[in-house]
Amino acid sequence: MRASRLVSLLLLLQSRGGQTAAELAHELEVSVRTIHRDVDALSASGVPIYADRGPHGGIRLVDGYRTRLTGMTADEAEALFLSGLPGPAAELGLGTVVAAAQLKVLAALPVELRVRASRLVERFHLDAAAWYHADEPVPLLGPLSEAVWESQRVQIAYDRGDKTVDRILEPLGVVLKAGVWYLVAGADGQPRTYRVSRVATVTTLDEKFERPADFDLAAFWSESSSAYERDTPRITIVLRIAGERLPRLHDVIGDRPFKTLVRLDEPDPDGWFRVRLQFDWPNEAASQVLAVGPDCELLEPLELRERIAAQARRVASHYEAPARSGAAPSEVDRPSAAMPTRVRS
**320 vs 274, higher pLDDT:** 274
Q: Is residue 340 part of a domain?
A: no
Domains: count for the chain: 4
Judged by average pLDDT, the poorest of 1-5, 128-132, 325-329 is 325-329
- Look at strands 180-187 and 190-195 and give their pairing: antiparallel
Do 29 and 85 share a structural domain? no
Residues 14-66 have pLDDT tens digits of 777 788 888 888 888 899 999 888 888 888 877 888 887 766 678 888 877 76
CA atoms within a 13 Å half-sphere pointing along the CA-CB vector of 85: 13
Looking at the structure, tell me whether residues 16 and 52 fall in a common domain.
yes
Mark which of 184, 199, 230 sits at the end of a domain: 230
Residue 173 pLDDT > 50, yes or no? yes
Please check whether residues 241 and 223 belong to one and the same domain. Answer: no
Tens digit of each residue's pLDDT (9 = 90 or more) over 112-158: 666 777 776 667 666 666 665 566 788 899 899 999 989 999 999 99
Residue 330 lies in a domain: no
214 and 152 assigned to the same domain: yes
CB atoms within 10 A of CB 172: 20
3-state secondary structure of 60: strand
Residues 240, 226, single domain; the answer is no
> For residue 107, what pLDDT is reported?
63
Cα–Cα distance, 112 to 115 (Å, whole number): 5
Output Rg (C-alpha) for the chain, integer angstroms: 29
Claim to verify: residue 115 and residue 191 sit in the same structural domain? no
pLDDT of residue 42: 82
What confidence score (pLDDT) does residue 345 get?
35
- Selected residue with higher pLDDT from 122 and 281: 281
pLDDT at 334: 43
Q: 173 with 115, same domain?
A: no
How far is the CA of 95 from the CAs of 87, 282, 288, 310, in angstroms? 8, 41, 38, 50
CA 68 to chain centre: 32
pTM higher than 0.85: no
Residues 206 and 254 in one domain: no
Q: Which domain holds residue 269?
A: 234-319
Query: Is residue 332 domain-resident?
Result: no
188 — pLDDT class (breaks 50, 70, 90): confident
- Confirm whether 13 is domain-assigned: yes
Same domain assignment for residues 270 and 204: no
Q: Based on the domain organization, do 246 and 289 belong to the same domain? A: yes
Within a domain: residue 46? yes
The CB density around residue 249, as the number of other CB atoms within 10 Å, is 23
Whether 340 shows a pLDDT value over 60: the answer reads no
pLDDT computed for residue 336 by the predictor: 42
Alpha-carbon span 339 to 235, nearest angstrom: 42
**Residue 86 domain flag:** yes
Q: Is residue 132 a part of any domain in this protein?
A: no
Q: What would the pLDDT profile of 203-257 be if each residue is shown by its tens digit?
A: 999 999 999 989 999 899 999 888 887 888 999 999 999 999 999 999 999 888 9
Identity of residue 228 = Y
CA distance 148 to 175: 12
Predicted confidence band at 343 (pLDDT cuts at 50, 70, 90)?
Answer: very low
Instruction: Give residue 43's pLDDT.
Output: 84
Residue 329 lies in a domain: no
The yes-or-no verdict on residue 186 having pLDDT over 90 is: yes
Question: Are 314 and 243 part of one and the same domain?
Answer: yes
pLDDT at 12: 80
Instruction: Give me the percent of the chain exceeding a pLDDT of 70.
Output: 73
